Amino acid sequence: MNNLSDFDKTKIFVGKLCPKGHRYNSSDNSLRYINRGRCVECARAENNQRYVPKRPPTKNYCPIDLSADFVDSIFYLGRLCNRKHDYRGSGLSKRRVSNYGQGNCLECQKLVSKQYYERNHDEILLKQREYLSNNKDKVRQKKAEYYARNADHVKAKAKSWRENNRERRRENNREWAIRNPEKDKNSKRNWRQSHRGAQKEKDLKRRQRLVSQSDMTLTIDAVDKLYASSSSCPYCGVSMTDGRGGPDIKSAKSIDHMVPLVLGGLHSLQNVIVCCLSCNSKKGNKPYSEWVEGLSEPYRSKAEALYIKKHGSPPCQLLLPFTYQHRGCQQ
């Protein structure tokens, strides 16, 4: 008997010579797999083949030379799988090279992996968090190396995400500012110092709008009366506070122009209400009709009633006695 130390004896044994004459160490025996008794060399020869599809006599044939897709690859084109994952109209499935018979279909593997992730979502996330906490330096180094290799791709992807998730980004920034008030304060101060020209221009435009679009009814006494008569936010119902710092900053009272100044709204008692700072920040420069559509009941009806009470007409209708009409309104 030959020496069995050069292969895995738990999976392979020396058996009968195969019909193709694959001899082991010039003996009259062949290496075979224990589970099926198949010749190891026969299995490897079959799995190392690269199948290039021949043109089938069908009108749906994809006239593409697929041989270039599998040069020096761990994949090959094999038998069509049971789920009928047809690779580019070839009538075959893309499979992974294996030493144990027919390789698995790549699309089937993806489907099984997805189902496994859905079943074990919480456990996988827990393991990921543990790994990240135990290998911070390693993860940071890998991220830096990846960014250095794919800087343009990372920047384009981040820009696309910011454009498609503006509300989520604002909410994340607000939550971060609440958790880190000192860092937020320092960050804003540093930005103002490094962008003094842009900040001055922004403040100047704001003051010019307040002056040019004011009807002189929004005095300090009028604002104090508005603050005193308002206890809950008309947009979300939260109990408002007078504080502007600390954990109560989201519920602090603030003045909201129902029709934003940048859309032609007046700086007037007839165009302002008191709401919480969180809703005021979320509303931003949105048209009032668009903002109201995103509110839940009963606050949507309440906000529409306040608008009608102050302006005499529903949102997105011509406002009287004012001469402007904000964007998003239809004639």
Domain-located, residue 56 = no
Domain-located, residue 297 = yes
pLDDT-based confidence at 141, cuts 50/70/90? Answer: very high
Consecutive H or E run containing 29? strand 29-33
Domain-located, residue 17 = yes
Residue 89 has pLDDT above 70, yes or no: yes
Out of 52-61, 238-247, 311-320, pick the least confident: 52-61
Q: CATH no. for residue 263?
A: 1.10.30
Residue 91 has pLDDT above 60, yes or no: yes
Please name the residue that has the structure tokens 């038998």.
Answer: 79
pLDDT-based confidence at 65, cuts 50/70/90? Answer: low
Residue 279 has pLDDT above 80, yes or no: yes
Out of 101-105, 154-158, 267-271, pick the least confident: 101-105
Domain-located, residue 286 = yes
Q: Are residues 41 and 70 in the same domain?
A: no
Residue 51 has pLDDT above 80, yes or no: no
pLDDT-based confidence at 26, cuts 50/70/90? Answer: confident
Domain-located, residue 238 = yes
Q: Are residues 108 and 16 in the same domain?
A: no
Judged by phi (left if over 0) then psi (alpha if -120 to 50, else beta), residue 141 lies in alpha
Give pLDDT, residue 248.
64
* b/e per residue 7-18 (b: at least 16 CB within 10 A): eeeeebbbbeeb
Give pLDDT, residue 272.
87
Domain-located, residue 82 = yes
Q: Are residues 276 and 221 in the same domain?
A: yes
Domain that includes residue 109, residue range: 66-116
Domain-located, residue 174 = no
Q: Are residues 24 and 97 in the same domain?
A: no
Q: Are residues 219 and 296 in the same domain?
A: yes
How large a percentage of the chain has pLDDT more than 70?
Answer: 82
Out of 162-166, 211-215, 300-304, pick the least confident: 211-215
Question: What is the total count of domains within the chain?
Answer: 3
Give pLDDT, residue 66.
57
